[in-house]
Structure 1
Amino acid sequence: MAARYLIDTNICIYIQRQRPPAVLERFRKLKPGEAVISVITWGELSYGAEKSRQRDKVLALLEELVTMLPVMPLPETAGRTYGAIRAALEAKGEPIGNNDLWIAAHAKAAGLIVVTNNEREFRRVPGLQVRNWA
């Protein structure tokens, strides 16, 4: 099945912690391959694991997570999309965090829906489809 959803970092953390229940329930209804994570999200999660006092345990949990949510590489078209989004947001005086900007560009370039609990940032991006399962 082709991917439909690009899962943001906060939703990945909710899935790992198995709370809130609404996120886990929605996640369990997905068909294999229907959701992926961006390589940017993978980087954010890996960074958090490296800083953790339980580094090895958290890294093992991340490896388990990517068996369920494959890491999608950044398509070349995301670079152009990034530039267009960033310019548009800066022109409106509404910039968003750099990693969120890359995740948004990745989703738009790949035609995916971003699933996040950080709607405030992502809803600023023109034309980006956003869902919140929390």
Structure 2
Amino acid sequence: MTWLLDTCVLSDFARGEAGTLRRLKASSPAEIAVSAITVMEVEYGLARAPVRAARVGPVMRALLGAISIVPFSAEDARAAAALRAALEGKGRPIGAYDLLIAGCALSRGMALVSSNTREFARVSGLRVENWRG
């Protein structure tokens, strides 16, 4: 696996965002994964918006069924804890779920695909790619 997709990438996919669709089509499913944290965020979003869920839920779940879902491991937790301490020490924390997803990417040596580049730019050593556009 090479790329860990952030939750916003799945939303872009469901909306048919051109750059995201192009990159996903050009990539092998074996190269792409999401964290179990992202699955929770997707499912939460769908549960909160039943009308939207009826429209985009099947598309998002089809993508999730085609790629790997990596569990949140003890190594991921340690990486996220160190990251949280470092960012809070600088007075530049990031959101809790973003912190967990970044920890997962860091511990596994994966690039994180996200359009939320401003938030993730604070994370030292994290490779971030934006597939929008």
Match of residue 71 from structure 1:
69
Q: TM-score scaled by structure 1?
A: 0.91
Q: 1:32 aligns with which of 26, 29, 33?
A: 29
SS at match of 1:46: helix
**1-structure distance, mates of 2:29, 2:60:** 18
How far off is 1:26 after superposition?
A: 1.0
Match of residue 42 from structure 2:
45
Q: How many residues align?
A: 131
Q: TM-score scaled by structure 2?
A: 0.92
SS at match of 2:33: strand
Structure 2 unaligned spans of 5+: none
User: Among the aligned pairs, what percent are the same residue?
Assistant: 36
Counterpart amino acid of residue 78 in structure 2: R
Q: CA RMSD in A?
A: 1.3
Q: Is the 8 A contact 1:75 1:109 kept in 2?
A: no
Deviation beyond 4 Å, 4+ runs, structure 1: none
Match of residue 128 from structure 2:
130
How far off is 1:23 after superposition?
A: 1.3
Structure 1 unaligned spans of 5+: none
Match of residue 20 from structure 2:
23
